[in-house]
Amino acid sequence: MKHKIYPMFFSVVLVICLIIGTLGNLIRYSGIAVLVVTLILFLTAHIFAGGINQLSVKRVKWIVGIGLIAMFIGQIVILSVMPNTVYHDPYRVLSQADQMAAGHMTWGITYFWRYANNVPLAYLMSLWLQLTQLFHLSANVAIHTLSILVLDVFIVLSLWTIWQLSHRKSLLIGATAFFVLTPFAYTYYLQVFYSDLPSMLILLLIMRIMMQWPGKSQKHHLVTGIGLVFISTLGMLIKSNIIVLVPALMIIVFILWYKKLLKQSKLLLPTVLIIFGFGLSVPATHGIYQASHFHTETKYEFPVSHWILMGANAQHKGMYNGKDVHRAVQQPDKKVRQQYDLKEIPKRFEKLGVGGTVKLWVVKLGILLNVRDIQDWYNGGYRSAPNWYQQMAQPIKVIVILSYTAATIALWFTLILRLLSWRPDFKNSQQVVAVLAVVASLGYLAFHTLLWETETRYGQVILPLIWFTLAAIPVPETDRKRLFTNLQVLAVPSLITLCFVSLGFAIGLSLEHPKNMVISAQRSQLSAQYQAKPFMLIPGKQMTEDVDLNGHANYFSVQIHAGSRVHVVLENKQTQRRYQMYRAGYVYRLHKNIQPGNYRIVIKNISQKNQAVDVTKTYHYQLSNHPLVINGKKDKYASLVYTCLLRYKGGSTTNS
């Protein structure tokens, strides 16, 4: 048999993408620290691998089990002690789900008419909330339960898949450490429920079914096939970019056909079932529209070309752009928006030229694979984190950046070395699915780099594919592997070095580059841009809300409403000292040193006419620690929109 000399083309392209992603994570002030920690982590992990592989399977299971239990306890503590304030898209979806679960099938804001892709997610979440109401769970507990359930199932299933594919104890322990000891299980995916994590779980389930399909019986295929269709439909309903699996599957089918291995692989049928499931999402979406009483409005709807237009905006690095959105909103309907986009897109690429376009793609790819800000994705800050956390928030923020970025790059670098030495055996079904994972990863990266707008969150969808590929590729016996085995005596010293170096960088960078810190906040809102209706405060009446400040602050703002004029003070409940807040646009602000304590926001209408105030209200989801009081009446499901910060000179805001 002829042996391939060079790596597979798709492997080389993925290696190049991961190198660009690595460089994108090494820019900004912490780049050198991330690089140093990554190198020490990479060496430490490989030195430990030999010793771990000598452990018994029983001991490895104990280590993994203890790690998962500790992780679960940590998750419960974080959600109980430090709930965060969710804002932007995830909150709007959550708010609509809460409303529908309460039996109100109405759509009061223009958000869903503009972004109808989130209607199925809101409807499915409402079904979950209705289910949990049978057990008398609050909406907060229900959403936290859903987050933990999806997150921990994803982690456990990932570990199980890694073990089934590789049977390498070191890789299993390494994956456990990645999930348990980094911010992955404790930040965005735990604190904010949105479409990203369910999409990753569905992608992992599809890869598992493809992996197991060739070795199963026809009876098993019947049951699994139905499940595969259902999962594929659900994946399209939740996040439609999973459609990139279709060209990836077509490429694999073509390769197998060309090598005359398609029949032997037995992967044609699951491929057809996946595509069939994607197709079923169209009638399923219409069914959800009818069940939820949703109808599209072309007056507000954005065409697909709008996201391509933003992706071609080099001034904003191909990311979400408010100016492009504002221009689209000003146009009368979807058809006119699409006509504008189709004229503007070629102009943007023509202006960029070949060199500028390639540069834009490289920049977008670097953003897409940037994982540094995982703690800040859709996180408006903790409602009121405890004092002990406030004291250590700055170094903790740096540790979050260092740990997750270093772990991700170390994972990528390990995969890069494996990809460069891998020559796929297409007679091996496990390796065929690994090739599918590589091609699907490239599909996601190409979609958001060459075509769509990009964000740092989007690249995380390939994480299950990365782990799957790493576990599926056979490990060659190399001199490098034997070298790390000989260095096992350095295992403990390298681990100690890793801890002290990371801690040193965390303290040093937090002192040199302090970030503005959220002390207390409630930033969830439906937003005036989506025509959310404000509360009308009648003359002579007032509304109040208590706020707990567990750390020193020097900035406080309360969002009122554009054009409104009211009297706003912040009152210390212990000392009765009152701070007058001044108007700045649609918010009222206070720039003054504020001591920790219990405070009360007081808003009074001293004018002779009604004044609009932005109030966020839900049916069963509690937004803040204290109720909003309007004319003496308490409402624990309503809140003002406010932010309290500890600002530093030259500092940018962090949501820690």
pLDDT interval class at 491 (50, 70, 90): confident
Quick one: 497 and 521 in the same domain?
Answer: no
Which pLDDT belongs to residue 55?
Answer: 92
Beta-carbon contacts of 136 under 8 Å, excluding residues fewer than 6 positions away, are: none
Pair 113, 209 in one domain: yes
- Which of 268, 266, 265 is CA-nearest to residue 428? 265
Q: Which of 191, 543, 528 is nearest to 383 (CA)?
A: 191
Quote the DSSP letter at residue 118. G
pLDDT computed for residue 568 by the predictor = 96
489 and 546 assigned to the same domain: no
Same domain, 480 and 523: no
Reply yes or no on whether the pLDDT at 119 is more than 70.
yes
Q: Locate 496 and state its tokens.
A: 């100690």
In a shared domain, residues 546 and 430: no
Neighbours of 652 (CB within 10 A): 10
Residue 347 has pLDDT above 90, yes or no: yes
Let me know if residue 654 belongs to a domain.
Answer: no
Average pLDDT along the chain: 93
Domain, as residue range, for 28: 12-506
State the pLDDT at residue 482.
55
Of 599, 606, 601, the closest CA to residue 548 belongs to 599
The residue among 28, 32, 147, 134 whose CA lies nearest residue 84 is 147
Q: Is residue 656 part of a domain?
A: no
Name the residue among 231, 240, 313 with its Cα closest to residue 274: 231
Termini Cα distance of the chain: 57
**Residue where the block lists tokens 């979400």:** 320
**Residue 162 within any structural domain of the chain:** yes
pLDDT attached to residue 650: 65
Higher pLDDT, 654 or 362: 362
Q: How many CB atoms lie within 10 A of CB 418?
A: 17
Is 4 among the domain residues?
no
What angle is formed at CA 144 by the lines to CA 386 and CA 533, rounded to 5 degrees?
90
Residue 5, in any domain of the structure: no
Q: Name the pLDDT band for 302 (thresholds 50, 70, 90).
A: very high
555-586 CB burial, b ≥16 within 10 A, e <16: bbbbbbbeebebebbbbbeeeeeeeebeeeee
Regarding whether 594 and 494 lie in a shared domain, the answer is: no
Task: Name the helix (H) or strand (E) containing 634.
Answer: strand 633-635
Q: Is residue 357 pLDDT above 60, yes or no? A: yes
Confidence of residue 1 (pLDDT cuts 50, 70, 90): very low
Residue type, 276: F
Out of 506, 526, 554, pick the residue that ends a domain: 506
DSSP state of 3: P
| Averaged pLDDT, 550-571 | 95
CA distances from 324 to 312, 389, 392, 526 (A): 11, 39, 39, 20
Instruction: Answer yes or no: do 536 and 420 share one domain.
Output: no
For the cut 80, the answer to whether the pLDDT of residue 464 exceeds it is yes
Residues 6+ apart with CB under 8 A from 540: 605, 606
Average pLDDT of the segment spanning 230-246: 96
Is a pLDDT exceeding 70 seen at residue 334? Answer: yes
Indicate the number of domains in the chain: 2
502 with 546, same domain: the answer is no
Average pLDDT over residues 142-160: 98
pLDDT tens for each residue of 37-84? 999 999 999 888 888 988 999 999 999 999 999 999 999 999 999 999
* Mean pLDDT value across residues 81-105: 94
Q: Both 107 and 250 in a single domain?
A: yes
**pLDDT digits 0-9 by tens, 594-619:** 999 999 999 999 999 999 999 999 99
Three-state DSSP class for 283?
Answer: helix
Residue 569 has which token pair?
Answer: 């003070």
CA-based angle 105:108:114, to the nearest 5? 105
The two structure tokens encoding residue 201: 């779980």
Q: Are residues 294 and 179 in the same domain?
A: yes
Residue 6, domain member (yes or no): no
Residue with tokens 């048999």: 1
CA distance readout (Å), 480 to 350, 418, 477:
48, 12, 8
Q: Rounded to an integer, what distance in angstroms lies between the CA atom of residue 165 and that of residue 208?
A: 10
Secondary structure class of 506 (helix, strand, coil):
helix
Phi (first) and psi of residue 647, to 5 degrees: -95, 145
Of 616, 188, 134, nearest to 376 by C-alpha is 188
Q: Which of 191, 224, 562 is nearest to 375 (CA)?
A: 191
Which of 482, 506, 530 finishes a domain? 506
Residue with tokens 């804001």: 109
Tokens of 643: 């932010």
Backbone angles phi, psi at 541, to 5 degrees: -100, 165
pLDDT of residue 113: 94
Residue at which a domain ends, from 475, 506, 537: 506
Q: Give the model confidence (pLDDT) of 421-451 as tens digits.
A: 999 999 999 999 999 999 999 999 999 999 9
Indicate if 606 and 558 belong to the same structural domain. yes
Q: Does 106 fall in a domain? A: yes
Q: In whole angstroms, give the CA distance from residue 99 to residue 107.
A: 9
158 within domain boundaries = yes
Pair 238, 199: CB distance under 8 Å: yes
Is the Cβ–Cβ distance between 548 and 520 less than 8 Å?
yes
Q: What's the CATH number where 571 sits?
A: 2.60.120
Nearest CA to 461 out of 198, 88, 86, 161 is that of 198
Alpha helices in 26-138 (DSSP H): 31-53, 57-81, 89-101, 111-114, 119-133
Residue 653 and residue 565 in contact, taking contact as beta carbons nearer than 8 Å: no
Do both 184 and 55 map to the same domain?
Answer: yes
